Amino acid sequence: MSRALLIVDVQNDFTEGGALAVSGGDAVAAAVTTFLAAHATDYTVIVASRDWHDPDGDNGGHFAETPDFVDSWPVHCFAGTEGAEYDPLLVTDAVTHHIRKGQGMPAYSMFEGTTDAGETVGTILTAAGVLSADIVGIATDHCVRASALDAIAHGVHVRIVTDLVAGVAPEPSERALAELVHAGAELVESANA
């Protein structure tokens, strides 16, 4: 059975010191690297996404001077800036596909982005015959949640690797995980993945 690893938004602006830093982001980056060193060959495809917002404009209302932190946010992950790059603790050598999302518009799910060649996550998974995906990354309560829901909608069995994700806040992260379990996802730890 073909499996995928989906690595969501492990970027400088979402880890410590970034514009929208998530506590534990650097630890997730390092732990995903350790996990990849031991398990990369377990996966047919390894897809990593990054927010890649246009430097001009508000990206469809995604950016705001007084953000509500639900639908609008401080400026982050401008295309080509250090903030949009992968966290340096994340080694991406094993990644087979790099996805950029949010180019001029809000985008939470990696399924909303494309590779430089125009491939979507859905087409990548279908072409590889992927039936199961493990999801890791940032943030549990936003882009991990949205990506997992889209993977489930795509017909993929999803496992959230709970020690390889970090959320913005504990309560919404717990709600997101409960929602994902209700939608059919499984929660696992990396030692059992």
| Token pair belonging to 24 | 């534990």
Per-residue pLDDT 10s for the chain (193 aa) are 799 999 999 999 999 999 999 999 999 999 999 999 999 999 999 999 999 998 888 889 898 888 888 888 888 999 999 999 999 999 999 999 999 999 988 899 999 999 999 999 999 999 999 999 999 999 999 999 999 999 999 999 999 999 999 999 999 999 999 999 999 999 999 999 8
CA dihedral of residues 180, 184, 187, 193 (deg, nearest 10): -130
Is 101 assigned a catalytic role? yes
Is the CATH number 3.40.50.850 carried by domain 2-192?
yes
Of 181, 18, 163, which Cα lies nearest the Cα of 84? 18
Which one is catalytic: 13, 51, 101, 150? 101
Of 76, 67, 68, 66, which Cα lies nearest the Cα of 107? 76
Is 9 assigned a catalytic role? yes
Residue 193's alpha-carbon distances to 34, 64, 66, 144, 176, in angstroms, are 13, 39, 40, 17, 20
Which one is catalytic: 26, 51, 134, 143? 143
User: HSE-up of 104 (CA within 13 Å, CB side)?
Assistant: 0
Q: What is the pTM assigned to this prediction?
A: 0.96
| DSSP conformation class of 87 | P
| Token pair belonging to 33 | 């690297």
- CA–CA gap between residue 73 and residue 71 (Å, rounded): 7
Spans of all domains in the chain: 2-192
- CA–CA gap between residue 72 and residue 106 (Å, rounded): 9
